[in-house]
Structure 1
Amino acid sequence: MRLVFAGTPDAAVPSLRLLADGPHEIVAVITRADAPLGRKRILTPSPVAQAAAALGLPIIKANRLDEAVTAEIAALGADLGVIVAYGGLVREPLLSTPRLGWINLHFSLLPRWRGAAPVQRALIAGDATTGADVFQLVPALDAGDVFGRIERPITEADTAASLLAELAESGGALLARVVDELADGSAVAVPQQGEPTAAAKLGIDDARLHWAEPAASVFQRYQGVTAEPGAFTLIDGARFKLHELRHARDAAALPPGHIRSVDGHVLVGTASTPLELLRVQPAGKTPMSAADWWRGIAAEEVIAE
């Protein structure tokens, strides 16, 4: 088949590469325009744009799929549109422009966590399982019938960054399989079952940890906001980033937000059991081990807000 691929971030790159290695022809790759990155704000192509260029694929850079982009895509005579985290909406008439419409790889078990941040929201909510779906794109957000699904349990070792990287690979393989099934006519889609939940994009307020909550809730939020936007608390009114945490083992309770060194472990209290700080970043400093930070401040106790 002739494919149009739309995607932007790193999470879309494995899908693009797998499809490029397959039997189908990618006639265009749509991605968002170059964006300023880093302290010097240098205009940088998206990860998908960089991957497409390395593969020698034609690239369309657009932040909106407007009439001009729709006409450009329509002229390509594509059989199928494939979208993975592009970052923009596909509306009519573009939605119906490829012969078979569009399919979407989404990193959740639909209809749970429709929207922009499904992996992050699943972790924050403490879901036991997650996965990825490939579904038919329809006008309603993430509401189309599902062609294929993968599932896996969520563990304490997962963060949003690590889990999304894993699902990008396994989900890419699922997507390639569905494309093959659509090509040979064996694909079967089933309606979504269950109550939809919304996965709104994360803001900086979502990343602040609240020590008055039980340890499980605090840790789940840390998982969901790592590495972006990045878990933090306030110490003396300044943002104190928390790059790595874990549940403390066999530790006595501490008052919520109170940080102490106990038997060589830097612990912070919650509404239940303490959490252990492993890697932190004080304001104006580079990331460091919590043990090094604690030795440097030489305090008996610090209060995090």
Structure 2
Amino acid sequence: MNAKDLRIVFMGTPEFAVPSLRALVAGGYRVVAVVTAPDKPAGRGQRLHESDVKIAARELGLPVLQPEKLRDPEFVETLRSLEPDLGIVIAFRMLPEVVWAMPRLGTFNLHASLLPQYRGAAPINWAIINGERETGVTTFLLNHEIDKGAILGQIRVPIGEEDTVGTMYEKLMQTGTGLVLETVERIAAGEVQPVEQQQIDDRTLKPAPKIFKEDCRIDWSQPGRRIIDFIRGLSPYPAAWTAMYREGSEEELTAKIFAAAFEAAAHDKVACGTVESDGRTFIRVACADGWITLEELQIAGKRRLSVRELLLGWRDVLQYRFQK
């Protein structure tokens, strides 16, 4: 069958899904509907916010469905009336079987890791946090379990020493777009051979659970390389952070750290979290096996700044200690 004749239902919400949607339309593929999250209030004025996928779909002239509940009979019937051949899911919520099993060729998902590793909501973050030097993208068929369906295709992508979750997000978003188109073509041609994710010892797998604020707090007693990977894996969002205490005060001040460097050094007599600075050009913090030199940070209530910019107005930096 010609891939351009397939009736495709596309499901996604954030920016990560947008290049794939645009590429499908630009390539002449037949996207009969786009399913995305309902508009939600956001910001100070609580104005309704549209998802990135909805905005793109509207620009492309595609029908948009925004069900509150994916099992809603009206939504299911609308979907069925579209007679979909194939479903594509990118960064969307978990689908009920009545939805993912509806297309005659099934529904596949694009995941930002080399499955079965890093199943979960934050695969890019955790790959970098764990010091991986390679990740990638995977397309797989949806089934009853999250991220455990049969694998259709994978592309490996190296993680550079300077990469952050921000830069890897961009790389995997673009690489994933190519894999989505390739997967559609192979399904249409009957060339795809799904590989089941079975006979895997779960003890060998690294999970990628959702990240919460407390998960982002820096532990200065950790080795320096691990702290740097932690900062990279959370930059620019949600951002690694630290608590700071001024000498003689128990009042806590917090700061997000976006970029830093590590210098190995022996300092048995210096407590982890100790701050050193010349007051003009650098701030460094003691860790288990050296110093973390801060490069970009944002003190609560202030703008994100380079250390040199920050020190122009932070004269008492040496009165603070960083602590988990």
TM-score normalised by the chain length of structure 2 = 0.88
Per-residue deviation, residues 244-270 of structure 1 (Å, max 9, x unmatched): 22224x767563212212693321111
Structure 1 letter corresponding to 2:218: L
2:158 maps to which residue?
153
CA contact (8 A) 1:206 1:225 kept: no
SS across alignment from 1:139: coil
CA contact (8 A) 2:114 2:136 kept: yes
Greater alpha carbon shift after TM alignment, 7-16 vs 181-190 = 181-190
Of residues 140, 147, 152, the one that matches 1:142 is: 147
Please state if 1:222 is matched with 2:238.
Answer: no
The equivalences for 1:49-198 within 5 A come to: 49-66=54-71, 67-86=73-92, 88-192=93-197, 194=200, 195=202, 196-198=205-207
1:277 maps to which residue?
294
- Which whole-Å CA distance do the structure 2 matches of 1:244 and 1:38 have between them? 27
Greater alpha carbon shift after TM alignment, 94-103 vs 120-129 = 120-129
Structure 2 letter corresponding to 1:72: T
- How far is 1:303 from its partner? 0.8
1:304 maps to which residue?
322
Question: Whose radius of gyration is greater, 1 or 2?
Answer: 2
- Which whole-Å CA distance do the structure 2 matches of 1:128 and 1:270 have between them? 23
CA contact (8 A) 1:131 1:152 kept: yes
Please state if 1:255 is matched with 2:264.
Answer: no
- Which whole-Å CA distance do the structure 2 matches of 1:143 and 1:161 have between them? 26
CA contact (8 A) 1:258 1:268 kept: yes
2:261 maps to which residue?
246
Of residues 39, 45, 48, the one that matches 1:40 is: 45
- How far is 1:295 from its partner? 3.6
- Give the % identical residues: 34
Where do 4+ consecutive residues of structure 1 move more than 6 Å? Answer: none
- Which whole-Å CA distance do the structure 1 matches of 2:50 and 2:281 have between them? 45
CA contact (8 A) 2:139 2:183 kept: yes
Per-residue deviation, residues 71-107 of structure 1 (Å, max 9, x unmatched): 2111100100000001x21112222110111000000
CA contact (8 A) 2:266 2:289 kept: no
Structure 2 letter corresponding to 1:43: L
Give the CA RMSD over aligned residues.
1.8
* Alpha-carbon spacing, 1:156–1:75, altered in 2? closer, same or farther (3 Å): same
Unaligned runs of at least 5 residues, structure 2? 1-5, 246-251
CA contact (8 A) 2:262 2:292 kept: yes
Of residues 204, 219, 222, the one that matches 1:213 is: 222
Unaligned runs of at least 5 residues, structure 1? none
Greater alpha carbon shift after TM alignment, 255-264 vs 213-222 = 255-264
- Which whole-Å CA distance do the structure 1 matches of 2:276 and 2:69 have between them? 50
Structure 2 letter corresponding to 1:128: R
CA contact (8 A) 2:9 2:88 kept: yes
- Which whole-Å CA distance do the structure 2 matches of 1:179 and 1:84 have between them? 14
- Which whole-Å CA distance do the structure 1 matches of 2:165 and 2:292 have between them? 19
- How far is 1:273 from its partner? 2.0
Structure 2 letter corresponding to 1:257: G
